[in-house]
Amino acid sequence: MDRIRIRGGKTLKGEIRISGAKNAALPLMCTALLTDKEIRFDRVPDLADITTMTNLLAQHGVEVTTKLSGKERSVTLCGSNITDTTAPYDLVRKMRASVLVLGPLVARHGQARVSLPGGCAIGTRPVDLHIKGLQQLGAEIDLQEGYIVARAPKGLTGAEVTFPKVSVGATENLLMAAALAKGETHLINAAREPEITDLAKCLIGMGAKIEGLGTDHLKIQGVDSLHGVNHPVVADRIEAGTYAMAVAITNGDVELIGAQHDLIGSVTSVMSQAGVEFSETPRGLRVKRTNGDLVGVDVMTEPFPGFPTDLQAQVMALMTTAQGASMITETIFENRFMHVPELTRMGASINVHGASAMVRGVKRLTGAPVMATDLRASVSLVLAGLVAEGDTILNRVYHLDRGYERLTHKLSACGAEIERLSDGAAE
Ligand code: EPZ
């Protein structure tokens, strides 16, 4: 199994190109199930989760073609011949975003059988909001042998759906389904993440009628059919935030090419308070420390436009060597502190009390063999490794392959001493 070795202490200098967002590309690819016309997405990141989604769509009968031009990948999808409306357990278990095929399949094909995803490393993560919302649009849904079995032989009908809790995935599933429902749908208390706005823009490009982009109230007027589109995937704000923290933790100076400041306002605000300077450039965002040490700042994760849960582990790594204390509170997922014991093994001082972690800055971290059980926890250990004294060996690299395109290349091009080892040695 591959591992990553990092020799800490190098300062990052130069530039890093931000990829298209994984969490935008995954729902976008599902729109292929809504039309028989060809759809092309540019700037699709080369990630394990994208491969899983490609395999799932192919199993439904979608034709998928991938093209590389320079470092950018475009993916063309054509769902003119859907042959199978089942999303099997083996694929859904691998990647929860597979549940995003449910809305499009039932909206256009009148039926879907999608495995229930079950819990995962960061929490129980139910899909009740996806199911209830689709039922409100008229789908008949049963749970049979671990599968969500949905039927709407006469199509879906628009309705007013008020989400009791903000959910990115449920908003995306309902938005896609409502695009083809008869009449008007209101999604109230909808998630406002930029990936949802990107999905809405793509759907509008396909002929959907959607108002309220970027707000918590989306109004969708259903149409009979949708057509093809050519859509570029929005920049990955979580990748941009992660590299901004890598720059800050190493006291570096890097331009993040393609990073969009307006998508990470809550992140730059926290980091600015901690002593990091951001300046917009014609190509993106330049990051460096204001001067001197980082200082501890309190952070609470919230739905967009709040501080993203997907950057909580990374900001915790950043705070481990800051001056003073930092209280980090996770409000989205109930079990997203798996990085804490590993950071502690590297010398960090962190105490967890319920949903909050108190980080007391230490003078230095030391390298250690570490591993984590999810994507963002894993990358937080990479950040810690970049500043730790000595070698950090990160196991279970496959988590990083799910969400960070060419991570070791991007960091080593800026001077980090980081390499991937594929010697097959035991964890
Ligand atoms: C998306 O997951 C992202 N995944 C996650 O990114 C991200 O952490 C999360 O949104 C929050 O921002 C993708 O976009 C593919 P939710 P999603 O539905 O849609 C509860 C990463 O590292 N909930 O917004 O699954 C749920 O348990 C990942 O890239 C219900 O109770 O998240 C959670 O507590 C991991 N019932 C909260 O809502 C439901 O039916 C928010 O989850 C659905 C969700």
Over residues 241-289, the pLDDT tens digits come to 999 999 999 999 999 999 999 999 999 999 999 999 999 999 999 999 9
Cis peptide before 308, with omega less than 30 degrees from 0?
no
Index of the ligand 1 atom closest to the CA of residue 169: 19
Alpha carbon 379 to chain centroid distance?
Answer: 13
Q: Active site residue: 78, 120, 202, 414, which one?
A: 120
CB-based contact 275:290 (threshold 8 Å)? yes
| Index of the ligand 1 atom closest to the CA of residue 334 | 34
pLDDT of residue 38: 98
- Whole-number Å distance, alpha carbon 46 to ligand 1 midpoint, is 22
The whole-angstrom separation of Cα 397 and Cα 420 is: 9
- Tell me, yes or no, if 120 is annotated catalytic: yes
Residue 427 has pLDDT above 50, yes or no: no
Dump pLDDT digits (tens) for 35-86.
Answer: 999 999 999 999 999 999 999 999 999 999 999 988 789 999 999 999 999 9
Asked if 73 and 45 count as a contact pair (C-beta separation under 8 A), the reply is: yes
Q: Is the CB of 119 under 6 A from ligand 1?
A: no
Predicted local distance difference test score (pLDDT) of residue 49: 95
C-beta separation of 123 from 330 below 8 A: no
Residue 294 pLDDT grade (very low, low, confident, very high; cuts 50, 70, 90) = very high
pLDDT at 423: 67
Mutate to test the pocket of ligand 1, among 50, 114, 125, 315 (most ligand atoms within 8 A of CB): 125
Q: What DSSP assignment string belongs to 145-185? A: TTEEEEE-TT--B--EEE-SS--HHHHHHHHHHHHTSBSEE
Q: What average pLDDT does this structure show over 206-211?
A: 98
How close is the Cα of 30 to the center of ligand 1, in Å? Answer: 17
Full strand arrangement of the beta sheet holding 147-151:
86-87, 111-115, 147-151, 140-144
Atom of ligand 1 nearest to the CA of 49: 15
Q: How far apart are CA 151 and CA 11, in angstroms?
A: 56
- 249 Cβ contact list (under 8 Å, min separation 6): 294, 317, 318, 321, 383, 384, 386, 387
Q: Which residues pair with 351 in a beta bridge?
A: 358
Residue 231 pLDDT > 70: yes
Name the band, by pLDDT with cuts 50, 70 and 90, for residue 125.
Answer: confident
67 C-beta neighbours (distance < 10 Å), count: 12
Q: What spacing in Å lies between the alpha carbon of 125 and ligand 1's midpoint?
A: 7
Residue 163 banded pLDDT, cuts 50, 70, 90: very high
Rounded to whole angstroms, the Cα distance separating 164 from 415 reads: 47
Nearest CA to ligand 1 atom 19: 169
CA gap 256, 14 in Å, rounded? 9
Q: Which atom of ligand 1 is nearest to the CA of 132?
A: 40
Give 70 Cα–ligand 1 centroid separation in angstroms: 33
In order of 10, 29, 292, the CA distances from 278 in angstroms are 21, 33, 15
Predicted local distance difference test score (pLDDT) of residue 426: 43
Residues 350/212, Cβ–Cβ less than 8 Å: no
Backbone angles phi, psi at 216, to 5 degrees: -90, 15
Q: Nearest C-alpha to atom 28 of ligand 1 is from which residue?
A: 310
**Distance between CA 105 and CA 111 in Å, rounded?**
6
Pocket lining: 128 vs ligand 1, CB cutoff 6 Å: yes
| CA atoms of 297 and 286, how far apart (whole Å) | 21
For the Cβ of 227 lying below 6 angstroms from any atom of ligand 1, the answer is no
pLDDT single digits (tens) 129-151: 999 999 999 999 999 999 999 99
Strands 391-394 and 3-7: antiparallel
Does 425 have pLDDT greater than 80?
no
**Position in ligand 1 atom list of the atom nearest CA 238:** 29
Identify the pLDDT of residue 72. 87
CB 170 within 8 A of CB 130: yes
Q: How confident is the model at residue 293 (pLDDT cuts 50, 70, 90)?
A: very high
Spatial distance between the Cα atoms of 347 and 204, rounded to a whole number of angstroms: 50
Task: For residue 146, report the distance from its CA to the centre of ligand 1, in Å.
Answer: 20
Contacts of 293 (CB under 8 A, 6+ apart): 275, 322, 323
What is the predicted pLDDT for the residue at 88?
96
Residue 211 Cα to ligand 1 middle (Å):
23
Mean pLDDT, to the nearest integer, of 229-236?
98
Q: Whose CA is nearest to atom 22 of ligand 1?
A: 310
Beta strands in 70-228 (DSSP E): 72-78, 86-87, 111-115, 140-144, 147-151, 160-162, 184-188, 209-211, 217-221
In contact, 20 and 212? CB cutoff 8 Å: no
At 424 the pLDDT is: 55
